[in-house]
Chain A
Amino acid sequence: MINTKDILETIQMIREENLDIRTITMGISLWDCVSDDPGRLCNNIYEKLTRKAERLVSVGKDIETKYGIPIVNKRISVTPISLVGGKSSPEDYLKIAKTLQKASDELGVNFIGGFSALVQKGMTEGAKNLISIIPEALTETRNLCSSVNVASTKAGINMDAIALMGKTIKRAAYLTKDDNSIACAKLVVFANAPEDNPFMAGAFCGVGEPDAVINVGVSGPGVVASAVKRAGNCDLSELADVIKKTAFKITRVGQLVASEAAKELGVPFGIVDLSLAPTPAVGDSVAHVLEEMGLERCGCHGTTAALAMLNDAVKKGGVMASSHVGGLSGAFIPVSEDAGMIAAAECGVLTLEKLEAMTAVCSVGLDMIAIPGDTSEEVIDGIIADEISIGVVNTKTTAVRVIPAYGKKAGDRVEFGGLLGYAPVMPVKTESPARLIARGGRIPAPIHSLKN
Chain B
Amino acid sequence: MKAVITVTGKDTVGIIAEVAGVCAKHSVNILDITQSVLDEYFAMIMLTEIDKLNVGFAEFANELSELGRSKNLDIHAMHEDIFNTMHHI
Contact = CB atoms under 8 A, between A and B. Distances in A.
Interface stretch (A121-129, A138-146, A249-257, A339-347): A249-257
B26 interface: no
Given A66-B61, A68-B61, A4 B34 contact: yes
A253 B86 contact: yes
A6 interface: yes
A373 to B, nearest CB: 46
B45 A65 contact: no
B82 interface: yes
A89 interface: no
Tell me if A's interface is mostly helix, strand, loop or mixed.
Answer: helix
Interface in B71-89: 74, 76-87
B85 A2 contact: no
Contacts of A6: 83, 86-87
Interface residues of A, number: 21
Interface string B26-58: 000000001000000000010100000000011
A269 to B, nearest CB: 14
Nearest to A68: B78
B: interface residue count bin: 20 to 34
B12 interface: no
A68 B76 contact: yes
Nearest to B62: A65
A2 B84 contact: yes
Contacts of B80: 2
B21 to A, nearest CB: 20
Contacts, number: 60
Given A2-B4, A7-B4, A11-B6, A69 B82 contact: yes
B34 A65 contact: no
B45 A4 contact: yes
A10 B83 contact: yes
B83 A7 contact: yes
A354 B5 CA distance: 47
Interface string A239-280: 000000000010011011000000000000000000000000
A15 B6 CA distance: 12
Contacts of A65: 57-58, 61-62
B58 A67 contact: no
Interface of A: 2, 4, 6-11, 15, 61-62, 65-69, 249, 252-253, 255-256
28 contacts: A2-B47, A2-B80, A2-B84, A4-B34, A6-B83, A7-B6, A7-B45, A8-B45, A9-B87, A10-B83, A10-B86, A61-B58, A65-B57, A65-B58, A66-B57, A66-B58, A66-B61, A67-B78, A67-B82, A68-B61, A68-B76, A68-B77, A68-B78, A68-B82, A69-B78, A249-B87, A256-B82, A256-B85
